[in-house]
Structure 1
Amino acid sequence: MWERVTIGQSGAAVSRRAGVYRKTSDVEDLVGEGERLVWLRVQGIPAAEVLECEPGLLVTAEVPGRSAAEPWPDPDRIVDSLADFTRALHALPVADCPFDRSLAVTVPEALAADPDLDDLDDERAGWTRDRLVAELLATRPADEDLVVCHGDLSVPNVLFDPETGDVTGVVDAGRLGVADRWLDLAIATRSLVDERNSQYGPDAAARYLERCGTEPDPAKTAFYRLLDEFF
């Protein structure tokens, strides 16, 4: 019997049984997500194994390990592993990635989207769609530092070996593609300072960026977190 999974913010219906996860949706591009997971594994990046994939249905093998969102005895080790994983992902050759998530693609998608105004980040609580759109267009960066991005690199989407702390795989890769590295960095650092992940915090976010070899970029951080409101 399938057990419904209620953790997470995916728009799809997710259920699991005996080491298998099933995702169904009439809206999300699950074929595209399956293709991205397969591509990641071919590149040597740990990701969920696709067992079945067709329009409206994605079945994957359970990724071993525990989510970064769970309590860990050594949170710094998890932050370091997350940063090392990010660097490995961002080091993949852009020319080999067939998926485009640059602003030329994502901004038009955002302008056509209907964001959930009841689920905005605290700093944008109460904003209208028009205000979100105006801010998005006004703060769009003039340049993009393009790498291969996961696209939704929040801590629940990365799993780790309980013994070693190494990354065992990622899930929810439907937005993977070539984009500015700050698409991942902005979402990862937001997740690390989220009060729901209280084992981390601002120091963990700073540690993550330092290990990624990246200086803070407040403008791109704000923009890519704003862009995420539309997806």
Structure 2
Amino acid sequence: MGLMLEALPQAVSRWLQGYEAEPVTVGMSGAGVYRWRKAGKPGLILKIRPDSHDPDPGFRLAPEAEKMRWLSAWVPGPEVLEYSQQDGCEYLLMTEIVGRSGAENWPPEERPRVVVAIAEALRKLHSIPLERCPFDQRLEAKLAQARQRTELGLVDLADFDERWQGKSAEEPLEVLLQTRPTDEDLVVCHGDYCLPNVLLQEGKLSGFVDLGRLGVADRYQDLALMTRSLTSDLNPQFGEGWDRVFLEAYGIREPDWTRLEFYRLLDEFL
């Protein structure tokens, strides 16, 4: 991404006079992410991606910019300062959210409060009237993205569970289609609700990031990914049992484990 930083679009670079960049390595958005600092000024965040025609909006910055602007009317988050395209790349410049990522190594005594805050933040997002949300991420749309990405060879099989290693993407896709739920409990979903994408300050939500997949979807889309994130080897500060703490704080004592597994498998294609 170095060359892209040396030749930023003018619309972006005009915001960055006197700032210095440092790479951000937390998270798995797939974009080049840079934090920009200047004495006495709030921090800025710049995301850079090669232009893409990927059917999954999570791999493009234009949908993310649009969704960030829309969501800002409902919950705290970064302000979009500029979106530009130049020389085969997308550039998204935004304000930096003040807060700590859910993925940080929180002290043991703070972890229950953090998980409760993450659940409360999700309830707030899910309470937005879905009829006001113009972005469709219902199951039909998500399955269409999964099919297209499989046909285009874009699915990263290396990220699949051990069960699918050595197999083609068509096999788990067939399982996905056969186990599709017959209904959806629709809300406004984040779409990639995992620990690095929630920022907290003083025990409350300070903002969401990586919003390219935001849209109307089954609430289990978000529940599935956060429960997986809390019990993943990537977040050993949490681990076994924290998924239930999160679900109970959200308001679910008897989760639909089959639906959780379905949405985790769906996420493997996106």
Give the TM-score category using the shorter length. Answer: over 0.9
Let me know the Cα RMSD of the aligned residues.
1.4
Superposed, 1:76-95 pairs within 5 Å as: 76-95=112-131
CA distance in 1, matches of 2:131, 2:84: 27
Q: Secondary structure of 1:178's partner? A: strand
Show the counterpart of 1:11. 30
2:254 maps to 1:218: no
Instruction: Give the deviation of 1:123 after TM superposition.
Output: 4.8
CA distance in 1, matches of 2:260, 2:229: 12
Residue identity matched to 1:21? I
Aligned with 2:105 (options 71, 74, 84): 71
Show the counterpart of 2:205. 167
CA distance in 1, matches of 2:64, 2:106: 29
1:34-64 per-residue CA deviation (whole Å, 9 max, x = no partner) reads 1111111111x11221111234121111111
Show the counterpart of 1:49. 79
2:73 maps to 1:34: no
Runs (5+) with no aligned partner, structure 2: 1-19, 38-42, 53-58
Residue identity matched to 2:194? S
Change (3 A) 1:58 1:78: same
Q: Secondary structure of 2:234's partner? A: helix
Q: TM-score, normalised by structure 1?
A: 0.94
Q: Which has the larger radius of gyration?
A: 2
Q: Secondary structure of 2:230's partner? A: helix
Show the counterpart of 2:226. 188
CA distance in 2, matches of 1:103, 1:192: 24
Maintained 8 Å contact 1:30/1:54: no
Q: Secondary structure of 1:21's partner? A: strand
Instruction: Give the deviation of 1:169 after TM superposition.
Output: 0.7
Aligned with 2:235 (options 197, 202, 208): 197
Runs (5+) with no aligned partner, structure 1: none
State the number of aligned residues.
228
